[in-house]
A and B are shown apart, each in its own frame.
Chain A
Amino acid sequence: MKQYDIVMIGAGPAGLAAAVSAYDAGARSILLLERDSQLGGILNQCIHNGFGLHTFHEELTGPEYAKRFVDEVRKRNIEYKLNTMVINISHEKVITAVNRSDGLMEIQAKAIVLAMGCRERSRGALNIPGYRPAGIYSAGTAQRLVNMEGYLPGRRVVILGSGDIGLIMARRMTLEGAKVLVVAELMPYSGGLKRNIVQCLDDFNIPLKLSTTVINIEGKERVTGITLAKVDDHRKPIPGTEEHYDCDTLMLSCGLIPENELSRSMGVQINPVTNGPCVNESLETNIPGVFAAGNVLHVHDLVDYVSEEAASAGSAAAGYAALGTNRSARREIPLETSGGPRYTVPCTIDPDHMPEKLTVRFRVGNVIKNKAVSVYFDQDRIIHRKRPVMAPGEMEELVLTKKYFNEHPDLSKIRICVESV
């Protein structure tokens, strides 16, 4: 059995950044396992720009952003295997993977960074009624066909869901010669970034219909039409509001689901809100030495934050691999939420193991205007910051510094809430 100090499961943005940072933290025995034929993950099909503003202070395309990290990996001679599928990870961190050249292999890791990313919610999971013809694509699948293979999956397109990939694909399909008729969104607000609504829909006169869903798919062989309807406050279609569209394609951008089947089967505890692992301040799961970062942990809107998060996981993994199990006992101060935030990453904090400044990320469940985000250490409000607008489509973050913890040695819980200014 091969042995490595740290194995990254996935070599998309999270796996790459984690590997680089693990190396820089002193680790040398590092392996990246990637199921696709190149490093970089989904970034390779994201040929639009807008990546890297935070990290590199310039606008890059997805492949360019990936290349920055791939170059860093190559510079450090970090080992990787492409076209390699991990089929199992044991609780003892034995990874079973398969590819054409090595066959079936078992790898013992000291530490693991889970970086498998996410998948798109399918038509089946949405339970949209109607026929099941060709021409129903998730936005990411269509993106792959168009951007990597040059094929047009349809000419008259209706998009359900205003997630970022859907918005990006509305523009892409238009540029490639298709007619995007409408983007429908079940919720009363968009699921994507504001800048994507402006640049991908408004600039191309593509209407966005909020509180609207698909109630029927027509076409026995290929999609021939779909029916939209407005929904009420309980997201139930309102009779009499039906609108029919002749189209050959229905594209879905209705949310992303972290791919944690491997994590679950090895015994990683999953947060039902994020569908990602519950992690502590080091992004470590309930299994010591197993870390998670990127979209497998919680779905991000900006890759810059994926890289930042994964770098923390990578250096924490290097620390674990160096120390092994000879660690001091850990404290777990829970983070709780109320009044808006749906979850936090991390879920718990050990002040003795946190960095000087710890970023806590969360999303709200609704559009919230003119409120403030507050952080309570037990009964003490230590942060109170006004936010003009918060929306579910945009990830929020705040920074907790070590100083606060030093001032609260007997802290039992942290609460993050949205409250009046």
Chain B
Amino acid sequence: MYDIVIIGAGVSGCAIARELSRYRAKVCVVEKYEDVCCGTSKANSAIVHAGFDAEAGSLMAKLNVRGNEMMEPLAGELDFPFLRNGSLVTMYQEEDRPNLVKLYENGLANGVKGMKILGQQELHAMEPNIAPQAAAALYAPTGGIVCPFGLTIALAENAFTNGVEFRFNTEVQKLQPVKGGWSLTTSTGTMTAKYVVNAAGVYADVFNNMVSKVKIHITPRRGNYCLLDKSTGGFVKHTIFQLPGKYGKGVLVSPTVHGNTIVGPTAVDIADRDGTNTTAEELSELTEKAGRMVRGLPIRQVITSFAGLRAHEEHHEFVIGEVPDAPGFINCAGIESPGLTSSPAIGKMVADLLCNKMGLEPDPDFSGVRKGILDPKKLSHEEYQKLIREKPAYGNMICRCEMITEGEILDAIHRPLGAKSLDGVKRRTRAGMGRCQAGFCSPRTMEILARELGVSQEKITKCGGASGLIVGTNKDSL
């Protein structure tokens, strides 16, 4: 019997796992997909919100501000990309000023530090590409950007090296209370656990509603995004939000931590919990809305578009805690924006809760430091030269757009919880994330994966399951 089983290896599940790995406990994360970070955590704005949005006094507000504070030291410990670039909520009509002030006051109540309302001149000096009619903005210097894959993978790797088990391709189908805990029927067998943590993202209500009479309701809220080429890097320096106003809730235009520009998201409530498709309507809505916020949006530089789902709980609040009529079942539900920001604080909150309940002992062997994949681009000429002499794979360039070497791909495959698919390699190294979108490197990455995993290329997938890239060999049907 496990002490704790966490359902879902998204950013919340992995943050909880990493916090729990500080203690002596038998913990397992079960994940439906083949890798961590395959659901909501992989497709979002990648923003570390300052915390002025969430309603004062809410759990969401508290965890947002706390998560924001925790992100910087965490990025240091776990070596993932994070940048405090500051955010600007921009106002385009004078009549919206009361709303801007209200937002500022809400931020103050939430404990957001350093905020300031900027006048037109100051705003345009800070962001020369802002639309001319932008009249004022709420500036929050604590706003930041993060690599959502980098964060989630780092949390998971560190949890794993500290003893947390991960079971992939394992879908939880049924939950039943048993003596001293829970029985979980999964697609790969039955598990038992003293405590279950429900971090199932858009499916969290399904699991809650299996065990509790107090129903919760989560709506997948789809957002389309466009990612622009790195040649647009610096188009905006801060994360630009639009103050909700006459045109409804706006979208954001932001640099990413890797130097691209991201535009999004739309917001459409859908029924399909895996409905991550982009639509023509939403993509054109994005272009139109973002086009009003900035001057000369370089939308023709788009390199990819994608959609993510927010796990929208009907009261727009995080639902975290033990379910009263299902003892031992801990919800971590309704984790939508600012969920990514809040994840370090969510992890700590859930771990503290379990620690108190179960009386967990600290694990003296815990090491909270993790090194990410070595990026030769960050080395000096001499250091890089030395690295190639020792490991020639770092001299073999595989992804020409993002300049990713075979050495980095090998590291991604062989490190703890290593990559098993093209997307796994991509999310760990960025190989295939550039302007050609893996046109040149995918056959080479497939070859490396097959060789290193000891399987034929026909077994290599884009993202696990039935996402095979090759269907056979030439003339095999003739």
Spell out A's residues near B (CB within 8 Å).
35, 83, 85, 87, 98-104, 119-120, 122-125, 127, 129-135, 138, 140-141, 144-146, 149-155, 176-177, 215-217, 220-222, 237, 248, 261, 264
Residue in A125, A176, A217, A248 whose CB lies within 8 Å of B302: A125
Contacts of A100 in B (CB 8 A): 388, 392-393, 395-396
6 A-B pairs closest in CB distance: A124-B304, A85-B397, A134-B462, A122-B437, A100-B392, A103-B388
- A132–B283 alpha-carbon span in the complex (Å): 15
Answer yes or no: B439 CB below 8 A from chain A CBs: yes
Residue in A129, A149, A154, A222 whose CB lies within 8 Å of B278: A129
Q: Cβ of A141 and Cβ of B442 under 8 Å apart?
A: yes
Q: Cβ of B277 and Cβ of A131 under 8 Å apart?
A: yes
Answer yes or no: B119 CB below 8 A from chain A CBs: no
Q: Cβ of A129 and Cβ of B443 under 8 Å apart?
A: no
Contacts A85-B400, A99-B396, A141-B442: A151 and B302 contacting too (C-beta < 8 A)?
no
- A131–B384 alpha-carbon span in the complex (Å): 39
Contacts A150-B473, A154-B471, A176-B474: A130 and B384 contacting too (C-beta < 8 A)?
no
Q: Cβ of A101 and Cβ of B395 under 8 Å apart?
A: yes
Answer yes or no: B280 CB below 8 A from chain A CBs: yes
Nearest Cβ distance between residue B204 and chain A, in whole angstroms?
A: 20
Residue in A98, A104, A124 whose CB lies within 8 Å of B303: A124
Contacts of A104 in B (CB 8 A): 381, 384-385, 388, 395
Answer yes or no: B472 CB below 8 A from chain A CBs: yes
Residue in A98, A129, A140, A151 whose CB lies within 8 Å of B395: A98
Contacts A103-B388, A144-B443, A151-B473: A134 and B396 contacting too (C-beta < 8 A)?
no
Answer yes or no: B470 CB below 8 A from chain A CBs: yes
Nearest Cβ distance between residue B202 and chain A, in whole angstroms?
A: 14
- List 19 contacting pairs A-B, 8 Å CB cutoff, sorted by A: A85-B403, A101-B395, A102-B395, A104-B395, A119-B435, A122-B436, A123-B437, A124-B227, A127-B302, A129-B279, A131-B277, A134-B463, A141-B443, A152-B470, A177-B475, A177-B476, A215-B280, A221-B462, A264-B231
Spell out B's residues near A (CB within 8 Å).
226-227, 231, 274, 276-280, 282-283, 302-306, 381, 384-385, 388-389, 392-393, 395-397, 400-401, 403, 405, 435-440, 442-443, 447, 457-458, 461-463, 465-478
Q: Cβ of A141 and Cβ of B474 under 8 Å apart?
A: no
Q: Cβ of B440 and Cβ of A99 under 8 Å apart?
A: no
Select from chain B the residue with minimum beta-carbon distance to A224: B466
Contacts of B278 in A (CB 8 A): 129-130
- A125–B305 alpha-carbon span in the complex (Å): 8
Select from chain B the residue with minimum beta-carbon distance to A135: B469
Contacts A124-B304, A127-B226, A237-B280: A155 and B439 contacting too (C-beta < 8 A)?
no
Residue in B279, B385, B467, B474 whose CB lies within 8 Å of A152: B474
Given A103-B388, A149-B443, output 18 extra A-B contacts at Cβ < 8 Å: A35-B400, A103-B385, A122-B304, A124-B227, A129-B283, A129-B305, A134-B468, A135-B469, A141-B439, A150-B474, A151-B470, A151-B474, A152-B471, A152-B474, A155-B472, A216-B277, A221-B467, A222-B466
Nearest Cβ distance between residue A101 and chain B, in whole angstroms?
A: 7
- A397–B16 alpha-carbon span in the complex (Å): 66
- A133–B461 alpha-carbon span in the complex (Å): 10
Instruction: Please count the residue pairs between chain A and chain B whose beta carbons lie under 8 angstroms apart in the complex.
Output: 146
Q: Cβ of B470 and Cβ of A145 under 8 Å apart?
A: yes
Contacts of B466 in A (CB 8 A): 221-222
User: Counting chain B CB atoms within 10 Å of each CB, which of A122, A127, A237 scores highest?
Assistant: A127
Nearest Cβ distance between residue B160 and chain A, in whole angstroms?
A: 26
Q: Cβ of B302 and Cβ of A124 under 8 Å apart?
A: yes
- A131–B466 alpha-carbon span in the complex (Å): 14
Contacts of A151 in B (CB 8 A): 457-458, 470, 472-474
- A220–B474 alpha-carbon span in the complex (Å): 25
Contacts A153-B471, A248-B471: A133 and B462 contacting too (C-beta < 8 A)?
yes
Nearest Cβ distance between residue B77 and chain A, in whole angstroms?
A: 30
Contacts of B306 in A (CB 8 A): 132
- A133–B396 alpha-carbon span in the complex (Å): 28
Q: Cβ of B473 and Cβ of A119 under 8 Å apart?
A: no
Contacts of B447 in A (CB 8 A): 149
User: Counting chain B CB atoms within 10 Å of each CB, which of A35, A101, A151, A222 scores highest?
Assistant: A151
Nearest Cβ distance between residue B478 and chain A, in whole angstroms?
A: 5
- A87–B283 alpha-carbon span in the complex (Å): 34
User: Counting chain A CB atoms within 10 Å of each CB, which of B385, B443, B471 scores highest?
Assistant: B471
Contacts of B442 in A (CB 8 A): 141
Select from chain A the residue with minimum beta-carbon distance to B227: A124
- A104–B395 alpha-carbon span in the complex (Å): 7
Contacts of B389 in A (CB 8 A): 103
- A220–B307 alpha-carbon span in the complex (Å): 12
- A141–B474 alpha-carbon span in the complex (Å): 15
User: Counting chain A CB atoms within 10 Å of each CB, which of B282, B393, B436 scores highest?
Assistant: B436
Q: Cβ of B443 and Cβ of A87 under 8 Å apart?
A: no
- A101–B396 alpha-carbon span in the complex (Å): 9
Contacts of A119 in B (CB 8 A): 435-436, 439-440
Nearest Cβ distance between residue B66 and chain A, in whole angstroms?
A: 34
- A119–B478 alpha-carbon span in the complex (Å): 32
Q: Cβ of A127 and Cβ of B470 under 8 Å apart?
A: no
Q: Cβ of A129 and Cβ of B280 under 8 Å apart?
A: yes
Contacts of A264 in B (CB 8 A): 231
- A145–B302 alpha-carbon span in the complex (Å): 26
Q: Cβ of A98 and Cβ of B302 under 8 Å apart?
A: no
Contacts of A35 in B (CB 8 A): 397, 400
Q: Cβ of A134 and Cβ of B461 under 8 Å apart?
A: yes
Nearest Cβ distance between residue B326 and chain A, in whole angstroms?
A: 31
Contacts of A138 in B (CB 8 A): 439
Residue in B385, B436, B475 whose CB lies within 8 Å of A120: B436
- A155–B34 alpha-carbon span in the complex (Å): 25
Residue in A145, A217, A221 whose CB lies within 8 Å of B443: A145
Residue in B302, B440, B458, B471 whose CB lies within 8 Å of A155: B471
- A299–B150 alpha-carbon span in the complex (Å): 38
Contacts of B283 in A (CB 8 A): 127, 129
Contacts of A149 in B (CB 8 A): 443, 447, 457
Select from chain B the residue with minimum beta-carbon distance to A248: B471
Q: Cβ of A124 and Cβ of B305 under 8 Å apart?
A: yes
Nearest Cβ distance between residue A45 and chain B, in whole angstroms?
A: 10
